[in-house]
Copies of this chain bind each other. A is one copy, B any other.
Amino acid sequence: MSVNRFHVASADPIGVAVIGAGYWGPNLVRNFQTSVEFRQHWLCDLDIERAEQVLGDHSTVRVTDDLAEVLADEAVQAVAVATPAATHLDVAMAALRAGKHVLVEKPLAASSEQGRELVAEAERRGLSLMCDHTYCYTPAVLRIRDLLHGGELGDLQYLDSVRINLGLVQRDIDVMWDLAPHDLSILDFVLPPGVAPVAVAAHGADRIGTGRACLAYLTVRLNTGALAHLHVNWLSPVKVRKMIIGGSKRTLLWDDLNPGQRLSIFDRGVDLASTEELGDEQRREVLVSYRSGDMVAPALTEREALRTMVEEYARSIRTGTPALTDGRSGLRVLATLEAASRSLADDGRLVEIGEWATR
C-alpha cells in the first residue's frame, strides 16, 4: 500500500468535477453536494441542457461540454467519471494526465488491458484511482468484511452467492457481465489478505434465444482451496439476493431482501476432530464433530452506500492511500469476468485469472 504523492492533506474541501450527467451522474452530483469533504465545481456532459437540468436553477456548479476546460481548472483536484464504459479509458486517462484523482463508475474500463493502463498511470503519478463498487459500501457488506478480516468467521471455507430475478435482458452484455460484477467486487472486498481467486469456470445458457447467456454459474477457485460460487439469472420469477459465507468458526448468511434480518451469523458447523489410520485396512477414518450454537443477527445502521463511498474517496485522496475499491480491485473484477467469458465459450474449462496475484 504505497502512499500517493499528490494527496490533499488540508481540511479544505476537495474540488471535484463530475463527468457524465446520464443515469449515474446525478447520484454522484447529489452525494458530492451533501458531502463536506468535497466542493463540486463542474458537471461536464456533451448534452449541456441535460446537465443543467440535473443541477437545477440555483446551482453554483458550472456546466460545460468541454472536458479540457474542466481538466485545465486548477480548482479541480478530483474527477468522477460516469460516462459509458467504452469511454472510460480516454476520459480517465486524460484526467490522470492532468494530475487529477479519478473515481470511475464500474466497470473500470472496457477491458482488463485498458484497466491495466489506467492503474499503471495512476500509480506512476501517485494519484488515487477508485472504482465505484457501490454494493461494497452497504452496511451489510462492510460488516461482512469486518467479520472476515477480524477472524470472527474463521478461515473461509466457501462462499455461495445467488442473485436472481426477472431481470431486464441487456442489449450488449450477458447476465454475467450485468450481475456478477456486484458479487465479484464484494468477493474482492471481503476476502482477507492473502486469500485470492486463481481460476474460474463458467457455465451459462441462452434458452430464450437472445444471443447471450440469460443465466450463468461461476465457480471461482481460491488459492486456499476454498470455492466461491455465483448464480446469476435474468429469468427467475422469484427474486433472491443471498450469500452464504462458510467459515471454519462461523457461517454467515446475507439475505439482502430481508430488511429485518439481513445478516445471520451461525455458530453451527462441522469440525474435523481428528484423523487416524486404521490398522490393516489402511482406511482413513475421519472423526468429525458438530457445533450447534446460537445465531446472532447483528443490528446494522441504515446508511446510503454512495455516501460512504464518497467519504472513502475523500479519505483516499487526503491520506494518499488506495481506496478500499481502488483501480486494482476494479481490474481484478474485469480480469475475472474476462476469464469467465473464455470459460463460458470453452465448455466451462477452468481458466486462470492472473490478475489476482497482484492482490
Contacts and interface: CB of A to CB of B under 8 A. Distances in A.
Interface string A213-249: 0110101010001110101011111110000101010
Contacts of A251: 235-238
A261 B207 CA distance: 26
B272 A210 contact: yes
A299 B266 CA distance: 10
Given A166-B290, A261-B295, A294-B298, A231 B229 contact: yes
B157 A205 contact: yes
A1 interface: no
Contact of A215 (B158, B207, B231): B158
Contact of A238 (B214, B244, B284): B244
Interface residues of A, number: 69
Contacts of A208: 157, 248, 270-272, 288
A200 to B, nearest CB: 10
A120 interface: no
A236 B261 CA distance: 15
A270 B214 contact: yes
A2 interface: no
A260 B238 contact: yes
A169 interface: yes
Contacts of A225: 205-207
Contacts of A284: 211
Contacts of A214: 270
Given A205-B158, A227-B203, A292 B286 contact: no
Contacts of A57: 57-58
Residue with the greatest number of chain B CB neighbours at <10 A, chosen from A208, A275, A284, A290:
A208
A358 to B, nearest CB: 23
A265 to B, nearest CB: 9
A228 to B, nearest CB: 10
Contact of A239 (B210, B234, B260, B298): B260
A268 interface: yes
Given A237-B268, A246-B235, A294-B296, A207 B166 contact: no
A239 B246 CA distance: 13
Contacts of A295: 237, 261, 296-297, 299
Contacts of A270: 166, 169, 208, 214, 234-235
Interface stretch (A14-22, A25-33, A345-353): A345-353
Would you list the 9 A-B pairs with minimal beta carbon distance, nearest first? A237-B266, A157-B207, A237-B268, A295-B297, A205-B227, A203-B219, A347-B350, A210-B286, A201-B348
26 contacts: A157-B208, A157-B235, A158-B207, A158-B235, A166-B268, A166-B269, A171-B285, A205-B225, A205-B227, A207-B226, A207-B248, A208-B271, A211-B275, A217-B219, A235-B270, A236-B244, A237-B251, A237-B266, A237-B269, A238-B266, A267-B299, A294-B299, A295-B296, A297-B297, A348-B348, A348-B350
